[in-house]
Amino acid sequence: MKKITTSVLLSITLLQFSFGQSDFKTRLSDAGLELTKQEVTYDPAYFSIDYPNGDVPSGKGVCTDVVIRAYRKLDIDLQKEVHLDMKTNFDLYPKNWGLTRTDKNIDHRRVPNLMKFFSRFGKVKPISKIPGDYLPGDIVCWNLGGGTTHIGLVVDKKSPDLKRYMIVHNIGGGQVLADCLFDYKIIGHYSYEK
């Protein structure tokens, strides 16, 4: 009897844990889809912003701002999280910009920094050409060529041919929903929840 009770409790706990994970990813996906209703002009300018919970002006942004804003809707401040980790572990982060110290205004808005952060605190998922490997709530990073990187959020909306989930991103046309998963070279695939 004790063995059965322990086994049943373990099964219930695992089901609750699994449900909680998918619930988070569903909410993150929904947050990303909600962002597509906001009109945003692509603007890569440097902005001085508040800390914590700082954001560039609401009608402006780049690809990283899509991910940052989606997480912020779930009360996760990537500006703060990235800044705190970079303050302690600056040497682990890319040196692409010649900085010698952190900058809370921009560090979290750089794709390579987010990739490092997600690889340290999230789950690194396989990079493949299999559409089913990319699930709602996943973060995908691409190399666009010429040293340009890009990031987007997989959301729970299928492409017109129903073969894969679509991406919410900003590659120049604002925060949009697009069927672009395999349009560029994938260099990162993550799942992150705090």
pLDDT tens digits for range 160-177: 988 899 999 999 999 999
Nearest-CA neighbor of 116 among 146, 80, 91, 98?
91
pLDDT at 16 over 50: no
pLDDT at 17: 42
CATH topology classification for 2-191: endopeptidase fold (from Nostoc punctiforme) (3.90.1720)
pLDDT at 10: 42
Q: How far apart are CA 151 and CA 143, in angstroms?
A: 9
Q: Which residue has the higher pLDDT, 11 or 148?
A: 148
For residue 178, the SS3 value is: strand
**Mean pLDDT over all residues of the chain?**
91
Count of beta carbons in the 10 Å neighbourhood of residue 161 = 8
Alpha helices in 36-135 (DSSP H): 63-72, 78-89, 111-121
pLDDT at 162: 83
